[in-house]
A and B are shown apart, each in its own frame.
Chain A
Amino acid sequence: MTYTFGLDTFGDSNSDADGQPATHAQTIRNVVEQGVFAEHVGLDFFGIGEHHTDYFPMPAGDVVLGAIAARTERMHLGSAVTVLSSDDPVRVFQRYSTLNAISGGRAEVILGRGSSIESFPLFGYDLADYEQLFDEKATLFAELLKGEPVTWSGKTRAPLLHQDVVPHTERGPLPTWIGVGGNPQSVIRAARLGFGLALAIIGGPPARFASYSELFQRALQKFGRPPLPVLVHSPGHVAATDEQAKAEFWPRWRDIFSLVAAERGFALPTEDSFERDTGPNGALYVGSPETVARKIATNLQVLGATRFDLKYGLPGLTHEQLMSNIELYGHQVVPRVRELLS
């Protein structure tokens, strides 16, 4: 079994050592450095999730990936995720096939919603139309990937008639995944469209997703498709010791949840809930390289997955803390996971 390992960021706003927030521009330049460093420490994938807020100032991740592409050779680059429902599938295809051209065939796309909702009012979409928007646009995206002129009509964008959409990819379709947060219908959709399954596990016990992998492979069979890979995306933070990792991560985790909880009306995390989330059955990979490696190895096996993408960083962490996280992940966690899985 070949396993691959990646990092994802939402462009989490950095702070300096004194806790002063960096400018959005500085945070974005830091992400470029972090992406280049990710290849330097041997990682296979670097992903950028679309967000539109002051604390995740990252609406145009494909531009940032283009900068990283120009300074790297081997690592794959992709969205994590592209909020397809509030975007135009034709433009998403064009941007990522352009990234694919720049990078010599290293672009990937993960389609989904994430927990991001800001793009809907920003671009004039109604969240209540979410399902139709996503379903239609994901279906059109699958057509675009075939690389032939597209004929399509639907309710969510202008129709296409024998439309040649450029730039063409050189070596087949972009690897494309659908991000799934727990809805089994989304697993079926990924199988129907022939996209990989990206399990976004950000709360609760990861093992509850084990049956989703089986559902995915069975649904692929039903649709007459070959097996496709499953990846796991989860948040975390690696530092020298469990104590240091938790001490760096917890206040930032509490802060970001306070913001989101106030917007969405749910409860704040407590130290108890954080202990559970960072424990062996929780969704967060926060700790020393050994702690995090063991958890990744266990869950990749439980979930039938072959790729793990650690969503690193949180608003308020420093660039230096993130670089240290990346170094430990690349140099210690990943080799240890490979050892545990061999």
Chain B
Amino acid sequence: MNEPSRLAVLGAGHVGPVVARLAIKAGYPVSIANSGDPDDIALVADLIIPGAQPQWASDAVAAADIVVLAVPLHRFLEIDPVLLSGRIVIDAMNYWPASDGVLTLFEDGGSSEIVAGLLATSTVVKALNHIGYAELEDRARPSGALDRQAAGVAGDDTAAVATISGLIDQIGYDPVRLGTLRDGRVLQPGGPVFGSVLTRAEFERAVSEDARSIA
């Protein structure tokens, strides 16, 4: 059996530690980084994310197969795309002007499509952005559980979407593949599943009803 993929979680705020804990629990090796010195987040890693290795972002990414972007979108714009080159990148970020302010670059279109445009040498998959961080851990259930909930996965690269769907399954959600990043717009703020935790049937119904309302 292959060794599990190594994750680099970029962001040690609201979302990053939650994703890191879920991945560690599922058996993935996880590094965590923010924009600065790993010493600054050592205490957070030790107490809030036991098992995660605090590193410089460049070191964490260099050793990783999968990078999770869990930083505010305006801070993402400060990351050098070269750093993420060749990696599968989970975009767990949201463009949420009502909460974070307006970013002109993201005013039109899907935020992950814009992220993917900026990360031309990475493979971007949209996932883990639509369930609130307060609930993400509490609602996770192993495969086969009756009260298992769904989580959307969208991307233009089928193999990467399959990889990330496997990760989503392992950390406790039923992965719902949505097709392309364009299709992943349903996961954004204002979309039919943003901020709610739904079963696969409820999730698929919400998405198809939304498609009908747009058509």
Question: Are the CB atoms of B134 and A264 closer together than 8 Å?
Answer: no
B158 to chain A, nearest CB (A): 29
Give the residues in chain A near B191, CB-CB below 8 Å.
265
A211 to B34: give the CA distance in the assembly, Å.
Answer: 20
12 contacts between A and B (CB under 8 A): A117-B99, A128-B100, A129-B101, A185-B41, A188-B43, A203-B134, A205-B138, A208-B134, A211-B47, A264-B98, A264-B99, A265-B194
Interface residues of A, count at CB 8 A: 34
A339 within 8 A of B: no
Question: Are the CB atoms of A128 and B74 closer together than 8 Å?
Answer: yes
Question: Are the CB atoms of B44 and A184 closer together than 8 Å?
Answer: yes
Question: Are the CB atoms of A127 and B101 closer together than 8 Å?
Answer: yes
B29 within 8 A of A: no
Which stretch from A72-80, A96-104, A155-163, A215-223 is at the chain B interface?
A215-223
Question: Are the CB atoms of B189 and A265 closer together than 8 Å?
Answer: yes
A281 to B139: give the CA distance in the assembly, Å.
Answer: 12
**Neighbour of A264 across the interface among B13, B189, B197, CB < 8 A:** B189
B157 within 8 A of A: no
A208 to B98: give the CA distance in the assembly, Å.
Answer: 26
B17 within 8 A of A: yes
Which residues of B, 86-129, contact A by the 8 Å Cβ criterion? Answer: 96-103
Taken residue by residue from 171 to 215, chain B's Cβ proximity to chain A (1 for < 8 Å, 0 otherwise) reads as 000000000000000001111011111000000000000000000
**Neighbour of B43 across the interface among A117, A182, A219, CB < 8 A:** A219
Chain A interfacial positions (CB closer than 8 Å to B): 117, 120, 126-130, 181-185, 187-188, 203-205, 208, 211-212, 214-215, 218-219, 222, 261, 263-267, 273, 281, 283
Question: Are the CB atoms of B101 and A185 closer together than 8 Å?
Answer: no
A222 to B196: give the CA distance in the assembly, Å.
Answer: 39
B39 to chain A, nearest CB (A): 11
Question: Are the CB atoms of B48 and A184 closer together than 8 Å?
Answer: yes
Question: Are the CB atoms of B14 and A183 closer together than 8 Å?
Answer: yes
B12 within 8 A of A: yes
B132 within 8 A of A: yes
